[in-house]
Amino acid sequence: MINNIIYTQNIAESIELLLSQKEYDKLFIVTDENTHRFAMPLLSDSKACVDAKEIIILANDTNKTLENLSTIWKSLVEEGATRKSLLINLGGGMVTDMGGFAAATFKRGIEHINIPTTLLGAVDAAVGGKTGINFEGLKNEIGAFKQPSAVLIDTRFFKTLSKEHLLSGFAEMLKHGLISNMENYNKLITFNISNPDYNELLNLVADSVSIKEDIVEQDPLEKGVRKYLNLGHTTGHAIESLAMKRNTPVQHGYAVAWGLACEAILSYMKFGFSQPEIHRLVDYVKANYGAFPISCDDYAYLYEKITHDKKNESGRINYTLLKAIGEVEINVSVTKEEIESSFDLYRDLFGL
């Protein structure tokens, strides 16, 4: 296993145990304004963390910038961090991405631990070792692969999340189901995420994390099979940008949910992916995430964003699509006409 994933109901106790297994000279905890207030108190009970230096950064993905990264580097320098120091990232994807990148680059790399405080973070960002910052308006443009020494998932955090945050994380879980197997997917697509049973959700989270871990373990640097994890994201990122341009930003996972629907349609067009499964997915997405409004006037903008996706190579648009649930095709080239037809079908299916 690349990652050491620990599920706990008592983060202070678990961190204590973890830190007793290895000696670090100094401890740093990166939080944002929200996790400083709501999550840090849970950690403060731990004796091991009493002397830790907390580095508080601004919240939200818009602050995943070079300036804020520099704040972390500066604190590490000022407090005399060494290669034997440990950085603990306590927060959502923004904190684990940027804190992880600080750990990857400081003195050419120090150890770090992720403690995700959102569902999206637990099932995606905190696991797998992608770290980075946004740059020149481009998401995650600068970054590094750097595996965390451990990921501690305190399940209490999820109970306090808003419905929107839960749904956002759940979309990545749906993706893991679609790329892995029908058994897992069936459990997800029949789960009532709008009124969740938390014990059942935890089982689903553990399954989802292990699907991701398994893929990352086979292909940590995304040369092949890790591209499975990009399902829904080529279209999803374009939808996220369009929402941002309209000044009505949407949560990442919502864009992924709509992206999964569009890419299931493309999968049908390219590989005959099952129509009943498209309807099952669309019904679930429509019921829980609503419909993202698209008209033909948006096609040009969406296409332009899709052609600039980081995942493309040598001018080719590279999609990850499905032949069936659990049967994935990577590096699929798709034409402009096919993409536009998929948007037409998306609008029909979502009643737009």
Q: Strands (DSSP E) along 64-137, which ranges?
A: 86-91, 111-116, 130-135
Q: Which of 130, 176, 252, 311 binds ligand GLY (CB under 6 A)?
A: 130
Question: Per-residue string for binding with ligand GLY, 269-288, x by CB under 6 A?
Answer: --------------------
Provide Rg for the chain, Cα atoms.
20
Closest CB to ligand GLY among 95 and 294? 95
Number of alpha carbons in the 13 Å side-chain half-sphere of residue 142: 14
Which window, 83-91, 102-110, 123-131, 288-296, contacts ligand GLY (CB under 6 A)?
123-131
Q: CB 209 → ligand GLY: shortest distance, Å?
A: 12
Tell me the angle at which helices 252-271 and 336-349 cross, rounded to the nearest 10 degrees: 110
Q: Does 124 bind ligand GLY (CB under 6 A)?
A: yes
Per the DSSP assignment, residues forming a β-bridge with 154 are 8
Q: Does 146 bind ligand GLY (CB under 6 A)?
A: no
Q: Does 207 bind ligand GLY (CB under 6 A)?
A: no
Q: CB 230 → ligand GLY: shortest distance, Å?
A: 7
Q: Does 94 bind ligand GLY (CB under 6 A)?
A: no
Closest by CA position to 73, among listed 30, 26, 116: 30
Q: Does 128 bind ligand GLY (CB under 6 A)?
A: yes
Closest by CA position to 176, among listed 152, 139, 135, 206: 206
Q: Does 165 bind ligand GLY (CB under 6 A)?
A: no
Helix (H) or strand (E) holding 145: strand 138-145
Q: CB 229 → ligand GLY: shortest distance, Å?
A: 4
* Residue 80, CA distances (Å) to 26, 45, 55, 75, 338 in order: 8, 24, 14, 8, 55
Binding to ligand GLY (CB under 6 A): which residues in 223-252?
226, 229
Checking DSSP bridges between strand 86-91 and strand 111-116, what pairing results, if any? parallel
Task: Judge contact between 316 and 244, C-beta under 8 A.
Answer: no
Per the DSSP assignment, residues forming a β-bridge with 90 are 115
Which window, 43-51, 77-85, 124-132, 298-306, contacts ligand GLY (CB under 6 A)?
124-132
Q: Cβ atoms within 10 A of the Cβ of 168, count?
A: 26
Q: How many residues bind ligand GLY (CB under 6 A)?
A: 5
Q: CB 335 → ligand GLY: shortest distance, Å?
A: 25
Side chain identity, residue 352 = L
Closest CB to ligand GLY among 229 and 285? 229
Closest CB to ligand GLY among 46 and 96? 96
Binding to ligand GLY (CB under 6 A): which residues in 19-78?
none
- Residues forming the site for ligand GLY (CB under 6 A): 124, 128, 130, 226, 229
